[in-house]
Structure 1
């Protein structure tokens, strides 16, 4: 049976609920549905599964929309039950509640009796449908048994007739027994003359003469049996050896930083200067609405109703949008998102979600379907990319500082994405806000990783905690945090080894590091270039961290740092794909070679680029 059925507006106002269906819900399935599904533009999904391990409950939630009235209908039931009438019941409730809905009305107690009647009718229809299916399955089973019996009888008759036909003679007068042998010798499948013709023919599949000719060639190119002479292949041009110039490099090509020699032989590198881009606000220029509506014109012209009909509808207004009306404009937007490096699966789900939010709405006067779909997609992208929680790291650092412990950030990701470099950029930005930063070299797997981080620490004049190679990174991180507490450091930046998402030993080591040290922030460092591969990387990282966790509440990815953002031009779809698949916000964007080239993600700029 149903646990609860809820009707509320898109603004969050609960209009009606039926709590007589069962006990109170364990956990918060409705809030989780709104936060994880409806606000993340996953409303086109069939259902949503909610797990509450602490409460020992597992629910399935189904929903439907009334887009004209901006109403949401949600049904909740135990996942172990397979209720076939839920979809039918939601459709009936949506129909009857819309008939009595009034925006100025808040109390709908009179709908209780209507709902009970609708529920009884839906359950009765489900029982009848189940009986019909059982009868159909039983009849199909009986017919199958009858067919099998008839086939067995026919086989017995054929076997009996073959036994009675024994003792016949062949054309040569030899007696043939019932087992198909001739005087005890099996009869060949093909006549002897056919086999002889194949053996003597020159064009047969088993031509011995051809095989002998091929063997006699021995790899040399000779004339074929037909008389054609094989052409000699032209000689390939061999690559000339490179001649290296022994002359010294000109001084104008030497761009290394000036360094001085200490008495003990160590290099003293000049301090890095420049304001980080994180503290600068990026201004997005607003274009006219003509550019927004220019591209979807072709989609509107290609619809079945025709361009002239759509113009008449836009003038008259009050046209109820159907899914078939939205498909041409949505196809144009889907293709545009895919050209901007958005994963195909995510672009498809976004279009389905937009269609679900527009279906049934009335088109206003002098409004084209293409512009309506474009506006809905823009709002959906803004909801996805806008962080659902605070990403103010500076505030979190000061809160942690008041509690007398350092703020720990762990950088994770695949090989070669730039974890160490962007870790140094984050350290440089934190230094500019008068925070005491310490680096922890926990990449004990890759050769040269400790030396690379040591170079960044020396350039930024930041202390570094290192234990060399072939050490347990979880223990190194734990000792680094203890050292930071002793030295009263504000932030600890933990560098980890790059690992592929399918590398089981390294993923297990990463899970141990996170579960043992419980960092305040786990940042996934990903490239803005990868596109569809970013979805696979982030999904498997989250899945491995959940599977290998030693506690019921697994620690997953908290935020994303996108690197090489200055190399992708308008192919910014990786940011959308990674946020959509994980629900984690993009907290940093690497956009250059220097330490100051780190900035925030401008959501409006990304949305404008995706739909341009």
Structure 2
């Protein structure tokens, strides 16, 4: 049974709606209705390629009529399997447009006149109840017909199973009551004997394996199986040779030799004879950020650099063109590159149909996948672009190219545009400056870094730490990776290096960064809690929590991570992922976000589910213009990419601008 159905204009004007239950009417009237959530989280962000949208137990499906700018929406309980929803949407679209097209065309023209300022809003009134007077009866007949057909289909699908079951029982009864005397009966007996023997052999093999696993355990019962040729009463013990001490030489090493082999914390390997560190290896002056008028340190923007040599070749080819007409055609197609050759198939003044767009969208999908966009996301993006173009009237070669390219650019921009603030520094300063009761002590701003193994969490955490130090904040790094060998030592080296880098011209920033660690094999959630308490008691501004890498399918480790999140409730959870992955990015991010939401709400703490709040994409300098991982990650979570890592020094951190990413994806 449906819960809600509506027909509205893309601008938000509801032309007609129907709620089928009192609960559905109450929900539809609230701001948290599934239809409103669909508009905010799917349509506005360009996620129109999804098959359906789910929110608070509801499933929502929709379709468009682009030439009239209409949206048809159907909502129902997610637990129900309604097979007729797609047919209902298609029939609604066809009937509604056919019956009320003159009124809809007039309504659309007047709406555009109001938007263009040609007519005041008060000069036009629309009486939708009178215009769609008989539509309720038509809708009821259509819905009842589809529901009846669906019920009949269910009965038809169930009947063959019943008949087949009865027939099988009848054949079984006949076979048991009147066995055949033909040769088939003998073959069946032989087959049964072979099956019984095979079963005995399998069970015998299972018993042998059980005994082998149980060597050394006490026997229960008088009878026991034993491995042929082995003595189960007195198992043999492996003789081991005593370990001998390794000798490095005939004489003990001298003091000078011991000092030359000393690579400890106090004397780094890249220090000079006086113990001074070469700071030029830690900071790349060309990638340093800039200072604002307020003195804030901002990291550089990542900028997409086009290939100037190819541009020169194209310009030379244009100059040597034979005629102005050919030159204009080459200029148009070369400006669009491979995408332009796809769009060139749509020529002439016509209304675009699905068959017209199918080859273009297929080529567009291949282009996105070459840019490292996950296949699943490329499919959905192209479906969304197709839905926004079907039914639109275009004319001329240039107009068609501009329409398709603009639709793709708009879709990518909507997906990549963050719905939450990416100004992490503003969030930190807001928390630190917010008033508190006199009896309450201020807690530092906490950020947890999570991700799979080997993506560079610790390295990029140190880059974020450098950025925070440059903005005058005291940072405490919590070593909560208590599993990987060398994880604590790695952070210790970063803290040593960061403590020697200057802030605002100072030669030393010691005291602005510290490491909180408890060694290996401890509970990460407990260490993080102690670190936050230590940071609160010692006036630290930010606590950066480094966690152990784990695969997204490892449920015990994901539960442990969710426990850390639920226990400490960090202000930000940043997922660290690689720019090199394609389809794997979707799988990693989806399962991390889902596991954190499911397990964090069940792990105590505040009882609220927590998911990924933002992403940090590493190894960005290795992908050139194949930046599709950014699109895939943002599409999956709807959360922004806060930073990208693009090198090995502490200054190799960049911000992403949506326009630069879109330009890189659309480039050839």
- TM-score bucket of the superposed structures, by smaller chain: 0.7 to 0.9
- In the other structure, the counterpart of 2:52 is 47
- In the other structure, the counterpart of 1:608 is 663
Contact residue 329 and residue 369 of structure 1 kept, 8 A: no
CA distance in 2 between partners of 1:367 and 1:149 (Å): 70
1:390 aligned residue (409, 412, 421): 421
Give the match's secondary structure for 1:569.
coil
Larger Rg: 1
Contact residue 439 and residue 494 of structure 1 kept, 8 A: yes
1:439 aligned residue (477, 488, 491): 477
Contact residue 2 and residue 20 of structure 2 kept, 8 A: no
- In the other structure, the counterpart of 1:200 is none
CA distance in 1 between partners of 2:562 and 2:419 (Å): 25
CA-to-partner distance for each residue in 1:85-114, whole Å, 9 max, x for gaps? 544443444342652220335541225643
How do 1:485-496 and structure 2 match up within 5 A? 485-496=536-547
- In the other structure, the counterpart of 1:191 is none
Give the match's secondary structure for 2:128.
coil
Q: 1:261 to 1:443 in 2, by over 3 A?
A: farther
CA-to-partner distance for each residue in 1:294-326, whole Å, 9 max, x for gaps? 32454367xxxxx6xx54x2xxx2x12111100
Q: 1:608 to 1:126 in 2, by over 3 A?
A: same
1:451 aligned residue (486, 489, 505): 489
Measured after TM superposition, the shift of residue 466 of structure 1 is 1.5
- In the other structure, the counterpart of 1:79 is 78
Q: Do residues 276 (structure 1) and 289 (structure 2) align?
A: yes
Measured after TM superposition, the shift of residue 382 of structure 1 is 1.1
CA distance in 2 between partners of 1:478 and 1:156 (Å): 70
Q: 1:368 to 1:143 in 2, by over 3 A?
A: farther
Q: 1:383 to 1:179 in 2, by over 3 A?
A: closer
Q: Do residues 379 (structure 1) and 410 (structure 2) align?
A: yes
CA distance in 2 between partners of 1:459 and 1:90 (Å): 62
Q: Do residues 574 (structure 1) and 617 (structure 2) align?
A: no
CA distance in 2 between partners of 1:535 and 1:609 (Å): 20
- In the other structure, the counterpart of 1:299 is 342
CA-to-partner distance for each residue in 1:152-201, whole Å, 9 max, x for gaps? 999899978x68xxxxxxxxxxxxx99889xxxxxxxxxxxxxxxxxxxx
Indicate the RMSD between aligned Cα atoms, in angstroms. Answer: 3.5
- In the other structure, the counterpart of 1:169 is none
Give the match's secondary structure for 1:110.
helix
How do 1:424-573 and structure 2 match up within 5 A? 424-461=462-499, 462-551=513-602, 553-573=608-628
Bigger drift between 503-512 and 353-362 goes to 503-512
Give the match's secondary structure for 2:642.
strand
1:35 aligned residue (40, 48, 56): 40
Give the match's secondary structure for 1:408.
strand
Contact residue 15 and residue 107 of structure 1 kept, 8 A: no
Measured after TM superposition, the shift of residue 520 of structure 1 is 0.7
Contact residue 615 and residue 640 of structure 2 kept, 8 A: yes
Measured after TM superposition, the shift of residue 337 of structure 1 is 1.3
Give the match's secondary structure for 2:495.
helix
Contact residue 376 and residue 583 of structure 2 kept, 8 A: no
Contact residue 566 and residue 592 of structure 1 kept, 8 A: yes
Q: Do residues 114 (structure 1) and 134 (structure 2) align?
A: yes
Give the match's secondary structure for 1:388.
coil
Q: 1:535 to 1:87 in 2, by over 3 A?
A: closer
- In the other structure, the counterpart of 2:508 is none
How do 1:167-206 and structure 2 match up within 5 A? none
Identify the structure with the greater helix proportion. 2
1:400 aligned residue (398, 422, 431): 431
Give the match's secondary structure for 1:549.
helix
Contact residue 333 and residue 340 of structure 2 kept, 8 A: no
TM-score of the pair, normalised by structure 1: 0.74
Give the match's secondary structure for 2:391.
coil
Measured after TM superposition, the shift of residue 589 of structure 1 is 0.6
CA distance in 1 between partners of 2:185 and 2:443 (Å): 91
CA-to-partner distance for each residue in 1:406-454, whole Å, 9 max, x for gaps? 1111111112211111111111111222222221111111121111111
CA distance in 1 between partners of 2:546 and 2:355 (Å): 51
Give the match's secondary structure for 2:129.
coil
How do 1:11-410 and structure 2 match up within 5 A? 11-19=11-19, 22=22, 23-25=25-27, 27-51=32-56, 58-83=57-82, 85-94=84-93, 95-96=95-96, 99=101, 100-101=103-104, 102-103=107-108, 104=110, 106-110=126-130, 113-130=133-150, 132-133=152-153, 136=156, 140=160, 257-259=270-272, 261=274, 270=279, 274=285, 275-276=288-289, 278-281=298-301, 291-296=334-339, 298-299=341-342, 310-311=346-347, 313=348, 317=349, 319-367=350-398, 369-403=400-434, 404-410=442-448
CA distance in 1 between partners of 2:4 and 2:376 (Å): 32
CA distance in 2 between partners of 1:565 and 1:579 (Å): 15
CA-to-partner distance for each residue in 1:567-599, whole Å, 9 max, x for gaps? 122221222122222222111011111111101
Give the match's secondary structure for 1:469.
coil
Q: Return 5+ residue gaps in structure 1 as ranges.
A: 52-57, 164-176, 182-247, 249-254, 302-306
Contact residue 413 and residue 419 of structure 1 kept, 8 A: yes
Q: 1:487 to 1:80 in 2, by over 3 A?
A: same
Contact residue 475 and residue 544 of structure 2 kept, 8 A: yes
Measured after TM superposition, the shift of residue 145 of structure 1 is 8.2
TM-score of the pair, normalised by structure 2: 0.68
Q: 1:82 to 1:418 in 2, by over 3 A?
A: closer
Give the match's secondary structure for 1:109.
helix
CA distance in 2 between partners of 1:146 and 1:550 (Å): 49
Q: 1:120 to 1:504 in 2, by over 3 A?
A: closer
CA distance in 1 between partners of 2:177 and 2:523 (Å): 77
Give the match's secondary structure for 2:478.
strand
Q: 1:150 to 1:521 in 2, by over 3 A?
A: closer
Bigger drift between 576-585 and 100-109 goes to 100-109
CA distance in 2 between partners of 1:115 and 1:143 (Å): 43
Give the match's secondary structure for 2:362.
helix
Q: 1:419 to 1:260 in 2, by over 3 A?
A: farther
